[in-house]
Amino acid sequence: MNTPLRRLTSRERNVAIVAVVASIAVVLALVLATVGDTRPAPSPGCIYAIVPGVMGATAVDACGAQAKSVCAEHATERRPGSKTIRESCRRAGLR
C-alpha cells in the first residue's frame, strides 16, 4: 500500500476540484458547440461534396450548368471523391 507523502490542505483540494470542474465544463462546451450540422442543404440543382484533396479535404460546390458538368465528369470516374460527388448529384436530381 502506498501512503501519500503528505495530505492536501483544504485550499489545495479546493483548487484541484475547481480545476477538474472547469476542465469538464470547457470540454462539454466544446462538444456542444460542434455537435450539429450547421451547413444548410444545397439548393435544388446544386451539389455539395467534401472530397479528399492533396492538402486535406476539398469542397466541391456547384450549381446549374457547372453542377451538370461536374456530375458528368465524375459519372464513371474511380477517383476517391467521385463516389461522394455522384451521391450529391443523385440527391440533386442530376444524373
Reported as a single tens digit per residue, the pLDDT across 34-47 is 887 667 777 888 99
**Is 76 a domain residue?**
yes
Q: Which residues, in sequence order, are bridge partners of residue 63?
A: 46
CB environment 39-51: b (16+ within 10 A), e (fewer): eeebeeebbbbeb
**Is 19 a domain residue?**
no
**Is 6 a domain residue?**
no
Q: Is the pLDDT of residue 17 over 80?
A: yes
Could you tell me the three cell numbers for 91? 440527391
**Is 78 a domain residue?**
yes
Could you tell me the three cell numbers for 72? 458528368
Reported as a single tens digit per residue, the pLDDT across 81-93 is 888 999 999 988 8
Q: Is the pLDDT of residue 3 over 90?
A: no
Range of the domain at 84: 46-92
Q: Which residues, in sequence order, are bridge partners of residue 57?
A: 52
Helix, coil or strand: residue 56: strand
Q: Which residues, in sequence order, are bridge partners of residue 62?
A: 47
User: For the chain, what is the largest distance between any 2 Cα atoms, rounded to a whole number of angstroms?
Assistant: 74
Contact 67, 48 (CB under 8 A): no
Percentage above 70 pLDDT, the chain: 97
